[in-house]
Amino acid sequence: MRTKTVDSMLPTSHLPSDSKSAEPATQDIDWHVLVSRMIHPTKVATIEALSWIGQPLSASQLVAVFDREKDYLSLVSYHVRRLLEAGVLEIVEERQVRGTVEKLFFFRTEMENDGS
């Protein structure tokens, strides 16, 4: 999907004085490429897995769903934390498992309004 911007969002103060009256710059934005480079595949896989399974999962359960090696757990945990920080996921349950606390994650029931 390609979209053309209407105006450049950059200030014109950095341009030479004779170019300030020029038309605003337009550029093509390839959203597919931009989004695929900005959003890590592990975040997408996490969201898809939770949506498909329809119930809370821990990071280690997500690794099992993804059928990956155990060293993949740190990567999944990192991206789950980023999704928590972004307000996409929330911790819905914590339980003791072999001397540690396992956290189960699922989509937030309410998304906070950021004022936009």
Structure tokens at 51: 């949506």
In a domain, 86, yes or no: yes
In a domain, 15, yes or no: no
| Euclidean distance between CA atoms 31 and 79, whole angstroms | 22
pLDDT tens sequence across 95-115 = 999 999 999 999 998 765 555
pLDDT tens sequence across 51-97 = 999 999 999 999 999 988 767 999 999 999 999 999 999 999 999 99
When divided into structural domains, the chain yields a total of: 1
In a domain, 6, yes or no: no
CATH number at residue 84: 1.10.10.10
Asked if 72 contacts 66 with a C-beta cutoff of 8 angstroms, the reply is yes
In 3D space, the residue among 60, 57, 65 whose CA is nearest the CA of residue 89 turns out to be 57
Which domain range does residue 49 map to? Answer: 41-111
